[in-house]
Each structure stands twice: as structure tokens, then as C-alpha cells.
Structure 1
Amino acid sequence: MSLKNDIQHHHNRLDTAKRKLDSAKARGDQEMITKFTDEVDQLAKKINSLKGKQDYNMNKERKSLLDMPFSREITKEEQADLGKLKKSVKGLVIVHPMTKMGKQLRLDVMTGFAPKKF
């Protein structure tokens, strides 16, 4: 499973456990309350761990993009035919400002990062 799907899966399990915990509290079932409280704590800890790993991977990718020697704005004409541009420039990585990476880099326009000038 990918990291994103894994986090989503654990969030779904956490929501289910919280709902069951609420119903156990309404019934006053102490054994089930203990069980679901432990499960909620365990799932919250796992989610925080996965989010930390996701942040680490994002920062690693951001650093590799910033270490590339050349970057520039992608013009509207180039955006119209990105396939052609990617084929002509080896190692080109295009980052859109609305993606997680684009927001982290604080981009205003679509930007291309490459090892050589293009």
C-alpha cells in the first residue's frame, strides 16, 4: 500500500473505533471502553508515525528538486505540449503550484526543474 492509502486506511479504522467507543460509553460497558480506548491510542500513534514519514519523504524530494542546477517558469506554449517538452529535456521535473510539492516550494507558476538548461 502507498503511504497515502495507508494513512487513509488507518484514519478509517480510527473513525470506526471512535464510533464504537462512543456506543460502548453510552452502554457503560467498561471492558469494551478499555479495548477501544487502547485501539484509538494505538491508531493515532500509527497515523502520526506515517505522517512523519510522509513529511520526511516530501522534504527529501523538495531538497532534490532545489539541488537541481536549473529551473525556470514553463510558458503557456510549453504547457500546451508538455509531452514534447519532457521528451526534449532529459531529467525534467515539472511542479504545479497547486500540488503539495508546489505549495511547499511556494511556487506561483508552473515550474520546470532540470539538470541542464532548457
Structure 2
Amino acid sequence: MVIGGQIAKQRVADITAKIAGDKASIEIKSDIEAAMAIKTGAADLYLGACNTGGGGALAMAIALLGMGQCATVSMPGNIKSEAEIKAEVEAGKKAYGFTAQHAEEVIPVILKYLL
């Protein structure tokens, strides 16, 4: 797993590591490095946070992977339901963006369906 996005990278990594345990390796990277890791198959999941959930969190991932591989799972005042997040995972999305404020709520749901 790679952690990209614009803010709270260490916090996102810490939450992810706590949930994933030894089921995954986690690396914090720049946005472009994280998106390239997905594109080249070096990583299979991208998580990123920003203030809007879809801008800085996913901009490079969208540019390199295409919108079809990316999902915004939270924005200010709007968090997708567990069923909606599950549908994104089942659709094969590889990059997930969210607001840093919602990290504790959305990361467990994403990982529940990916691990």
C-alpha cells in the first residue's frame, strides 16, 4: 500500500498500519511516486487525504491511472456509506481519496473489503 495525498500522510499511514497489521506493507510517498507505484504494479492500493477529499488527495492518481481507478470516499460534510465504499472496492478501484478529518472513519471500511 502507498500513502499519497497532500496532508496527514503519517496519520493515514498510522491508521492503516494499525488496521492492516502484518497483512500489508505501507510506504509514504509523494503523490506522483505513489500513483506510479500503482500504475507499475509495485503497490496495489493508494490512500490519500486532502482538505476536499478529491483534489490533492487524488489529483496525480487520476492523472496517471484515470478516474475509473479512483474513488473519493469523503468530502467535507459528506462521507460515503459503507455500502457505497464496498461498491467502489468491488468495482476494482485502486486509489481512494478522503478528507483527513474522516480518515478514522473511511480507512477501516476500505480495508475491511480489501484485506
Query: TM-score by structure 1 length?
Result: 0.23
Greater fraction helix: 1
> Which structure has the greater CA radius of gyration?
1
Query: TM-score by structure 2 length?
Result: 0.24
Higher relative contact order (CA 8 A, sep 6+): 2
Greater fraction strand: 2
